[in-house]
Amino acid sequence: MNEKMLNELLGHAIRTGDVELELDDMVVDSLLKQTCPDLPVHVKKQAKERFRVRLLDAAIASAKAVVNWKGISFGRFIEAVRAKANLTRLDVGTRLQKSDEYVQRLERGDLNPVELPTRELADVVELFRLVVTAVAEMIMVTVGTMSTKQNIRASARSHGGVRHDIRGEDVERALDAFARKLASKSPRVNAGSKELETCMTNLREELQRRGRVELLK
């Protein structure tokens, strides 16, 4: 979402009446008589940033409504929603106060959600408005997929394969799909495992502290 896009969206909103701006001749004459200085730069910046945040939230909410989280990993769900919302990794990273590389590593499964600091995991969950039960299910898929991928990568390295950090995105997604398929045939991470249970408990407490009770389902 660049500056031109923001300005065009705001202009469209005004023209279509989504943003109330009713000006009759009397109001226009009154405004022309005033010598009110232009808004300070920092005020314009704050208003535009708020508008940008609202657009991003709306795009995520719309995309999330059509992306099925069942059976996919936490990171690939984030990627699917982001792509559907036409957002870049930088867009998401900026909201999370992280780099686009961090978002890439999260999407590819190079970061285990269970091992993330609770506040970082809560930031992602809050941005994408995920309920805790869905998060737990996706994390179980993630852990199984990561374990299987590590075995595949180890085998690939022993046969002179390409390092995972220089593989293309399409290859990495295909590897993810293959690993998920293999992991689905193996025993899954126990929903009551201590590590996952602790992660979910901490996540619930953090969301409760933030007042996001609607995500505690």
Task: Output the pLDDT for position 193.
Answer: 81
pLDDT tens for the chain, 217 residues: list them.
566 666 666 566 555 655 455 555 665 566 456 555 566 677 667 777 888 888 889 999 999 999 998 888 999 999 999 999 999 999 999 999 999 999 999 998 889 899 999 999 999 999 999 999 999 999 988 887 766 555 555 444 444 444 445 556 665 655 455 444 544 544 444 444 888 899 999 999 999 999 999 999 8
Question: CA–CA separation, 18 vs 38, rounded Å?
Answer: 24
Global confidence as pTM: 0.66
Task: Output the pLDDT for position 178.
Answer: 44
Query: Tokens 């999330």 sit at which residue?
Result: 64
Task: Output the pLDDT for position 79.
Answer: 95
The DSSP call for residue 67 is S
Question: CA–CA separation, 145 vs 178, rounded Å?
Answer: 9
Task: Output the pLDDT for position 27.
Answer: 53
With contact defined as beta carbons under 8 Å apart, do 52 and 1 qualify? yes
Task: Output the pLDDT for position 25.
Answer: 63
Question: CA–CA separation, 48 vs 54, rounded Å?
Answer: 10
With contact defined as beta carbons under 8 Å apart, do 179 and 149 qualify? yes
Task: Output the pLDDT for position 182.
Answer: 45
Question: CA–CA separation, 207 vs 121, rounded Å?
Answer: 10
Which ranges of 65-189 would DSSP assign to H, the alpha helix? 74-84, 89-96, 100-108, 118-127, 132-158, 169-184
